[in-house]
Amino acid sequence: MGNTSGDGNKPRNFDDAATSWDDEPRRVRLASEVAAAIRAEVGVTRYMTALDYGCGTGLVTLCLQPHVGTITGADTSDGMLQVLREKVASRGVANVATVHLEPDQETFPSESFDLLVSSMTLHHVEDVAKLLVEFYRILRPGGVLAIADLDAEDGSFHGHGLAAAHSGFDRERMRVMLVKAGFRGIRDTTAATVEKNDAAAEIRTYTVFLMTAEK
Ligand SMILES: C[S@@+](CC[C@H](N)C(=O)[O-])C[C@H]1O[C@@H](n2cnc3c(N)ncnc32)[C@H](O)[C@@H]1O
């Protein structure tokens, strides 16, 4: 499933991309559509303690922030987190925290969150099955996981010399991994479509799924 080896493509440097990340309207639109889909599929309430894993500049975090009790944006990129911190400060928002993650390091105590969302991040994570087990551990009993990511694609989504760990996901394989991690009540829907130019400058359409699951 991975596509980082042998093709000369490199993972994106998110620190370098951070300050201009939000300049791309399709990213802002996608995050807004993903957040709307999460709210449509999950009973999001102001009593919830939420985590946005791989929050980036907080595009999804800040769409959900008015509707939850607290939300923590967690990311491996300090550059992305700094952009989110600046947005939080300029908006005077009080219920958003940020956490810098070291890859593969357990950071959160068990059973900390009612809602765990992750949008467009899992395709950058090598060992997704292991991460899902970690997600299960840090959700409270009855807590909900909401994953938005690319449906399986041909590797053209990143293009331009960039690579990710996975070229999207087959929904059935994701479902199997979720069950193995302990999740139940798994549902999926199509949250959004993304149009991008491929290497030949042709417009390609990619679909983004939302899978929800309960602990
Ligand atoms: C495509 S961006 C998506 C950002 C945000 N979720 C959004 O929808 O706008 C992917 C994010 O995942 C982060 N990331 C990459 N690998 C990660 C990992 N192993 N653990 C946590 N975050 C990671 C990157 O730093 C980046 O901010």
Three-class DSSP category at 83:
helix
Q: Could you tell me the distance, in angstroms and rounded to a whole number, from the CA of residue 52 to the centre of ligand 1?
A: 10
In a domain, 60, yes or no: yes
Give the whole-angstrom CA distance, residue 133 versus residue 131: 5
In a domain, 5, yes or no: no
In a domain, 1, yes or no: no
Q: CA torsion sign, 127 to 176 to 115 to 39? A: positive
Give the residue, by CA position, lying nearest to ligand 1 atom 25: 77
For residue 81, give the CATH number of its domain. 3.40.50.150
What's the number of domains the chain is made of? 1
Q: Is residue 6 over pLDDT 60?
A: no
Tell me what percent of the residues of the chain surpass a pLDDT of 70: 93
In a domain, 32, yes or no: yes
In a domain, 4, yes or no: no
Beta-ladder partners of 169: 151
- CB within 6 Å of ligand 1 — which residues? 14, 27, 31, 54-56, 59-60, 75-77, 80, 101, 103, 119-121, 124-125
Q: Is residue 2 over pLDDT 50?
A: no
The 10s digit of each residue's pLDDT in 72-131 is: 999 999 999 999 999 999 999 999 999 999 977 778 999 999 999 999 999 999 999 999
Q: Could you tell me the distance, in angstroms and rounded to a whole number, from the CA of residue 92 to the centre of ligand 1?
A: 24
Using an 8 Å Cβ cutoff, are 86 and 101 in contact? no
Q: In which band, very low, low, confident or very high, does the pLDDT at 161 lie, cut at 50, 70 and 90?
A: low
Q: Is residue 23 over pLDDT 80?
A: yes
Q: What is the mean pLDDT of residues 188-214?
A: 91
Give the residue, by CA position, lying nearest to ligand 1 atom 8: 119
Q: Is residue 7 over pLDDT 60?
A: no
In a domain, 30, yes or no: yes
Give the residue, by CA position, lying nearest to ligand 1 atom 15: 124
Using an 8 Å Cβ cutoff, are 215 and 182 in contact? yes
In a domain, 104, yes or no: yes
Domain span at residue 106 reads: 10-214
The 10s digit of each residue's pLDDT in 31-78 is: 999 999 999 999 999 999 999 999 999 999 999 999 999 999 999 999
Give the residue, by CA position, lying nearest to ligand 1 atom 9: 59
pTM recorded for the entire structure: 0.94
